[in-house]
Amino acid sequence: MRKNNFLKITTYAAVFGLIGGMSFEGTTYISNKYINKSAVESSKTTSKSIEKTSTLSSTSTNTSSSDGVSGVSESVLPSIVAIDVKTTQTSTDVFGRTYEQDASGSGSGIIVAQDSKNIYIATNNHVVADASSVSVTFNDKSVYSATVKGTDSDSDLAVVEVPLSKLSADTLSNIKVATLGDSDKVKVGAQAIAIGNALGYGTSVTVGYISAKDREVSGEDNTMKLLQTDAAINPGNSGGALVDSSGAVIGINSSKYADTSVEGMGFAIPINTAIPIINDIVKAQTVSEDEQAYLGIKGTNVTSEYAQYYNLPEGIYVSSVTSGSPADKAGIKKGDVIVKYKGKDVTTMDGLQEKMALCKAGDKVEITVKRADNGEYKSITCNVTLGKKSDAPESTENSSDNGNSSSDSNSGQNGSSGQYDNNGQYGGNNNGSLFN
């Protein structure tokens, strides 16, 4: 069965000049003085109207603009921003010496919420991942620094925030919270309009149709159900909006199918999928260091490839459980595959860490695992009372780090198991096997 690579692999390959053949590409535009404006193609969008509140919800709209695409674009553009990031990347030369180089990237975002303090902008996780600085350009061309509020790598979603106190009166009068549609009601063949910061040149508009719904796209770490469109998705569109003929956001532009023999296959995260994730990020409170939560497992990402090869569910394979830990007390066992955290899908240890970062010690959470039973995997819900990270055993707290990221470690190219502890530290076992 042919597997199509999703965003992360393509992004890595583009930056280092390794991309080739047929793949799914994201739509972030990345460049630096060493890389000659390498284009990475990938994008996802999320947005829901939150007027003076931090709760997103779908709004069904059936009215179409009398001015057609131009009228829709005019109404949506005040809700779209360009996002520019700076990162520091470590590279190795032909002599094995490592060095750091500055890089920059461009993507898009959607204004999804506003409260008394901040403007909240939804974008893709890959747009802002590892960013040392983030800035946004609003519809009036004004530029402001922004802060990453939170991320969810499993869904490739993120939220950045800009304090209202920083925004001028002119900027405030030229921007607005996006109107969110209902992606469940979208019909195949309906018009779709993609709006984003293509190639980092500024906002552009492309038009097409919804080609398919619930299209399963297998990625590096998981499989996602996405909207398929033939509206052109270009580098820099990541985090931009896919809207319907009324101007309501129905998806977050996320990826395109890249091959010389294929045209017109772009994908977007359905807005109904994105909303609860964005809400969790927007509403999350900062957790102090002494309140940080602890679960007590070590696990391995079960990617779509591994799931097929080992006949396992996609998720996090629990390779060990610390005795007496919250996970142990809740009945989580070695060999379980964690698939949900607080009712939301989780497929990677990074994703689990991001969700746990929104909780604090003492919180009660539901964790769904799949456990082998006579050759079949059955779902079991475990009620966990999270412990305090500072109380975690030293062996767990200080696991060795071999310097590989989750995407690299699980690629099957370095013989490492890609094992993590629940504190976000990497601890590959270097024995060349996937599971302990």
Catalytic residue among 38, 47, 84, 126: 126
Catalytic residue among 154, 156, 280, 350: 156
Catalytic residue among 73, 108, 153, 238: 238
Task: Check if 156 is active-site.
Answer: yes
Q: What angle do CA 74, 43, 263 make, to 5 degrees?
A: 90
295: buried, middle or exposed (CB in 10 Å: 19+, 13-18, 0-12)?
buried
> Are the C-beta atoms of residues 428 and 404 closer than 8 Å to each other?
yes
Task: Check if 350 is active-site.
Answer: no
Q: How far is CA 142 from the centre of its chain?
A: 26
221: left (phi over 0), alpha (psi -120 to 50) or beta: alpha
Task: Check if 399 is active-site.
Answer: no
The residues annotated with a catalytic role in the active site are 126, 156, 238
